[in-house]
């Protein structure tokens, strides 16, 4: 799917690639069931088309999801270090 964005006499075509649950699962190395759970829980952005077509996930949503997970992992590890520092003191 393509969108045309007009901004001050400049036309830019922006392509948005949508992936199936199976494609997302393969890229993220998890099961399709896990991807569907993330979608139902709102942890991963996507659109439910129909029972037959299933979910579609924009590629940018995968990037945002992974960035969010890495940010949470970073904050957890720094919190663990702070706890270890308190215990040592």
Helix (H) or strand (E) holding 19: strand 18-19
Residue at 8 is within a domain: no
What is the domain count for the chain? Answer: 1
Residue at 4 is within a domain: no
Residue at 2 is within a domain: no
Higher pLDDT, 31 or 83: 31
Q: How confident is the model at residue 62, as a pLDDT?
A: 95
User: Distance between CA 69 and CA 77 in Å, rounded?
Assistant: 12
CATH of the domain at 82: 1.10.1660
pLDDT in tens, 25-68: 999 999 999 999 999 999 999 999 999 999 999 999 999 999 99
Residue at 27 is within a domain: yes
3-class DSSP state for residue 39?
Answer: helix
Q: How confident is the model at residue 64, as a pLDDT?
A: 94
Residue at 3 is within a domain: no
Q: How confident is the model at residue 86, as a pLDDT?
A: 52
Residue at 37 is within a domain: yes
Given a cut of 80, whether residue 77 has pLDDT beyond it is no
Q: How confident is the model at residue 70, as a pLDDT?
A: 84
Given a cut of 70, whether residue 76 has pLDDT beyond it is no
Residue at 7 is within a domain: no
Tokens 């037959």 map to which residue? 52
Q: What is the phi-psi region of residue 47: left when phi exceeds 0, alpha when psi lies from -120 to 50, beta otherwise?
A: beta
CB 13 within 8 A of CB 3: yes
Residue at 49 is within a domain: yes
Domain hosting residue 66, numbered range: 17-88
Token pair for 64: 């945002």
């Amino acid at each position: 799917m393509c969108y045309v964005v007009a901004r001050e006499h400049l036309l830019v075509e922006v392509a948005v690639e949508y992936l199936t649950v199976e494609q997302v699962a393969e890229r993220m190395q998890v099961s399709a069931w896990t991807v569907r759970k993330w979608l139902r829980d709102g942890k991963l952005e996507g659109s439910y088309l129909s029972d037959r077509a299933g979910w579609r996930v924009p590629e940018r949503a995968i990037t945002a999801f992974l960035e969010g997970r890495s940010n949470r992992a970073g904050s957890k590890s720094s919190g663990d270090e702070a706890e270890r520092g308190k215990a040592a003191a």
